[in-house]
Structure 1
């Protein structure tokens, strides 16, 4: 297959894997109310189940897997971890109580940690700086695609067959994707070594920086720090809202999961697909190699995102609420491609997978871990005062957090050009170390 066709195939397959990597989390939010009734759980337990318990293992395991991805075979990593989380998702349907489901979700988290960092590292290897916003956006179409499957299919499966059968069905496609990835994807590092057994350039063999070197290099960069903070804040408020939105519509508007899943698949599927695609396309076409412009546009989008969501939670009409959430999703997802592409361009080549994993470590522990838990605990606290409407006011309280996200993105735009220059110097420095390492090995070989 030609290189041009293979690059398109790579994006399609990685996007499908990403879709099913996220679909179980969306489905879990949709069926939380049914799990609550079936297993007699509190909102705090549901927040723990969908939040910190999953995020803790997802985030921590992402670091060693990303370290492996920065130096090892990413095809092996993606295929093995996809097989693991797919099997664990199907096993969720067999859980008989809270603690069994908790342990199975931990298994899902460990497997799903091996999806995003290796994929971004793959894309950065195959696409240039100017191409990356578009390429990453196309990859991240898997997110809104997961909404179509996770909300529409899961909603009706749950309504007709229950939440247990839903998880079993959702786990099976990932197994097939894991096999496809194992036998059709190519690791560029392996290809280079196969073509050049006597590797002679530092680009082909470079010593991997230690985790301490990586963390020091990234933390001392002002732009990366602001991006890290923006992700952490964004995930806290976004996950806090997203996990409880289905329960909000069930409690406040009396919707069933089938109808609700259909609405959410349209809102998050269509709006997410359009927003993600347009964001990458606009960044590559009108702000190519201008990350400072991209970051400022992202900051504005986040502020608008929060205002629209506040209007949705204040609305007394389900249709107005759905419409405002759709507009918010369209604007909010436009940042996906440019934001991750900026990170991959910003950090040195030897640190790409770990940089994403470190961001996800903090963002998921703070956001995915504490966001749903905080929202659930607040809902329980406000229930004596507001009854079934307690979730409406909790979600409304989370909306201003998007202004905080926008502030960090704007600050990052002010320093990104200097950071890109520093990153290029760091990459050259590691390349020279790689060259020295090769010369040392060659000297020892001839000395013997």
Structure 2
């Protein structure tokens, strides 16, 4: 049984606290976007260009030699000047841009691989050990906050890499545990909205990360990490002291009427088996593609505007656009899918996924081909419409899995889409080099992936319809026989159950498809 038919005030409070937790989960990972250039310059990693360090002296030399080039071109054409021999004047110096494979590794595999591989066992552990989820969430929040603070102490590139690895490990349990808690505080009719509100944390955390530009310019990048990591300790205490561990449904212990407790192996294999379901497989493919587009743009938006429009301050726009419109889209998407799902079932949620990506993709293209501020204005519909998918996808995963396996299901889903989508940004450096154009590479890895995800979600609808048709045929064939047996009072309930096969797995599978 779910806890409440309608959300209580306390359920709403729990949701608010978990949004706050998720906000810092996102903030702590995304401040890399805005601090990376300063970090790269101090710790010397990534792409670099040779620039004048004494433009006046270089200009004097050029005037003497009668060369008609600028000091910038002189240094760029003579990179050896950035590594002067002892005793020679220092005319040029290296400027580290914070781009290239080193940065993409920090944004992608260094964080993502450990984040994804840790998420599944953490999610399953929550179910098979019956641990206190609020306590566990509080502990990992403290730990990832500590890793954020420690990043501010880094003295080398590999120090940052180690902190990112541990950050990924500790942040991995956030969404599986939080969604598991929310799925018990909110019924199916309100779950899409609740998950949409929970995902406000993504946009608020990402948007607030751009405020780090201001702190970076005034106090340095190390201060950014100290300020971002410190509040997590207080929030962890708030979570542990005020959020009750919800009473688990009996289905978390037993899956049938025999009273037999299922083993950890059974739960893991059953959760995995649900993802052999072709509907969930297609959903994961679509989610992974869309995740790839979102991740690539999120981690490279500052690099893009710094490259093509260096005078633009991204924080003037990106602090509030994702926070307001990305968050609004997530909530509205959840509300629309909930309202439609109450009438038309899961199919309506899938239609929201398709339409949102089809409509958002053109605005993502325009972002890359118009100048600021219009480029940022195009981001408003791109975020509002394009990011409806996150909460809706999670709602579909939850709808298609039984309550006792939801934490594992969410963890497996996050593992699949993040392991694939979160590493697609590694293609950007080589694609930019091959096309000799960062903008063209981003078109391939940003709006094009929006459109590709819409195709995958459309395929999911057709696969779902096909399975639904087959299941309906089975139900129609069984119904007359079941009705005849129910009229025979000599038939035991046990015989009836054996006939229609009402094991938990079968029942929930049919229920998930609307039967």
| TM-score relative to the length of structure 2 | 0.75
Kept in 2: contact 1:349–1:427 (CA 8 A): no
Corresponding residue number in structure 1 for 2:26: 22
- Please report how far the alpha carbon of residue 243 of structure 1 lies from its aligned counterpart in structure 2 after TM superposition: 0.7
The answer to whether the 8 A contact 2:144-2:167 is kept is: yes
Q: Deviations over 1:35-78 (max 9, x none)?
A: 22222222110000111110010000001100112232211221
Separation of aligned partners in 2, 1:107 and 1:334: 30
Q: Which residue of structure 2 aligns with residue 308 of structure 1?
A: 363
Query: Which structure 2 residues correspond to residues 204-353 of structure 1 after superposition, within 5 A?
Result: 207-208=263-264, 209-219=266-276, 221-255=277-311, 259-288=313-342, 290-315=345-370, 317-353=371-407
| Partner Cα separation in structure 2 for residue 281 and residue 247 of structure 1 | 34
Structure with greater helix share of residues: 1
Q: In structure 1, which of residues 369, 374, 399 is the aligned counterpart of residue 427 of structure 2?
A: 374
Q: For structure 2, which runs of at least 5 residues remain unmatched after alignment?
A: 47-99, 473-499, 508-515
**Residues 106 and 419 of structure 1: CA distance in aligned 2, closer, same or farther (over 3 Å):** farther
Alignment equivalent of 1:146, drawn from 195, 202, 205? 205
Shift of 1:178: 1.0
Contact 1:140–1:336 under 8 Å retained in 2: yes
Match of residue 162 from structure 1: 220
Are the equivalent residues in 1 in contact too, given 2:289–2:453 (CA < 8 A)?
yes
Cα RMSD over matched residues? 3.0
Indicate how the Cα distance of structure 1 residues 250 and 282 shifts in structure 2: closer, same or farther if over 3 A, else same. same
Give the distance between the partners of 1:144 and 1:203, measured in 2 at CA. Answer: 44
- 2:79 counterpart of 1:4: no
Q: Is the 8 A contact 2:340 2:349 kept in 1?
A: no
Verify the 8 A CA contact 2:192 2:392 in the aligned structure 1. yes
Q: Shift of residue 337 of structure 1?
A: 2.2
Q: Deviation of residue 376 (structure 1)?
A: 3.0
- Cα distance in 1 for partners of 2:259, 2:11 equals 21
Distance 1:188 1:378, change over 3 A: same
Instruction: Give 2:54's aligned residue.
Output: none
Q: Which runs of 5+ in 1 are unaligned?
A: 194-199, 433-448
Counterparts of 1:324 and 1:74 in 2: how far apart (Å)?
Answer: 40
Give the one of 244, 265, 272 matched to 1:186: 244
Greater Cα shift, 51-60 or 205-214? 205-214
Cross-structure match for 2:144:
85
Structure 1 length-normalised TM: 0.85
Aligned to 2:17: 13
Q: Using a 3 Å threshold, how does the CA distance of structure 1 residues 51 and 7 change in structure 2: closer, same or farther?
A: same
Greater length-normalized contact order (CA 8 Å, ≥ 6 residues apart):
1
The total of aligned residue pairs comes to: 415
| Counterpart in the other structure of 1:61 | 118
Q: Which residue of 1 aligns with 2:480?
A: none
Asked if the contact 1:70–1:121 (Cα under 8 Å) also holds between the matched residues in 2, the reply is no
Residues 353 and 161 (structure 1), Cα distance of their counterparts in 2 relative to 1, 3 Å cut: same
| Matched residue, 1:429 | 504
1:91-118 alpha-carbon deviations (Å, 9 max, x no partner): 1111111111100111111110010011
Query: What is the Cα deviation at residue 344 of structure 1?
Result: 0.7
- Which residue matches 2:416? 362
Please identify, of 334-343 and 97-106, the stretch whose mean Cα deviation from structure 2 is larger. 334-343
CA distance, structure 2, for counterparts of residue 6 and residue 47 of structure 1: 41
**Bigger CA radius of gyration:** 2
Matched with 1:443 is: none
